[in-house]
Amino acid sequence: METFDYSTLTIDRDGEHVLVVKLDRPEVLNAINTQMGRELLDLWTRFTAEPSSARCVVLTGAGDRSFCVGGDLKERDGMSDEAWRAQHEIFERGFAALLNCPLPVIAAVNGHAFGGGLETALACDFVYAARGARLGLTEVRLGIMPGGGGTQTLARAAGERRAKELILTAQQFSAEDAFEWGIVNRLCEPGAALADALETARAIAANAPLSARQAKKSIHYGLQIDLDSAYRFEIEAYNRLVDTEDRREGVRAFNEKRAPEFRGR
């Protein structure tokens, strides 16, 4: 099994195939500093570049107050323009690696999520959030703008008009509003977001892992192209699964009326 050695992230296993990644700087509400940016980039890149026993990842924050409040503004205070851009390059690469991570990633938003914290959740495949959590992309109040994909991911989740309203006003909104607008998949009772996300992660991990990866990829990239091309992409993804042990095992297990034993090959 893989080993992880990070100072700003805590990684635990839930069974053999589910990983829980925790943003672990509760003393600053899990704000993203340069070190966390480097470690997140390394983590998401590893899932792409290296074999892994993981089939699903749940991403959450340490403590019960905050998922992540975005970039660490204390670290950024007095930072030169050159240093700011260099730091943001690390963040940009991390967001891109998360968006393209082959494993399904569920955000368990256990508390408030602002700026880059909300962008991190939006870059995941879907979001479970605790009732009472406050969310927002408030960067225009600071003389910047969302730079972790937020102008794109929020618009895709909630629609162009809603995204413009929320980003240009820099207004905070509730998890309940986010659920109504399609930003959040499920509202959870306070303290239950992680447990609810883990229940779903286990269901995903019980399915054929290659199938889940190919289906995720087909949805993600298909939405960026026209329907006919997207369908052709889907068929290419489908055909890659035909000559796999898991496909043969799935059909055999169905006919034998037993649970399949998928091996990811």
> Which residues form the catalytic set?
119, 139
Cβ 119 vs Cβ 166: under 8 Å: no
Q: Three-state DSSP class for 50?
A: coil
Q: Which of 130, 133, 109 is nearest to 119 (CA)?
A: 109
Q: Tokens for 92?
A: 């940009």
Sheet bearing 9-14, strands edge to edge: 9-14, 18-23, 56-61, 105-109, 126-130, 186-188
Which residues 6+ apart lie within 8 Å of 137 measured at CB? 114, 115, 118, 119, 146, 150, 154, 166, 167, 170
Cβ 35 vs Cβ 72: under 8 Å: no
Separation in Å, CA 166 to CA 26, 56, 58, 175, 243: 26, 30, 26, 14, 46
Pairing of strands 56-61, 134-136: unpaired
Task: Determine the Cα–Cα distance for residues 45 and 27; give it in Å rounded to an integer.
Answer: 27
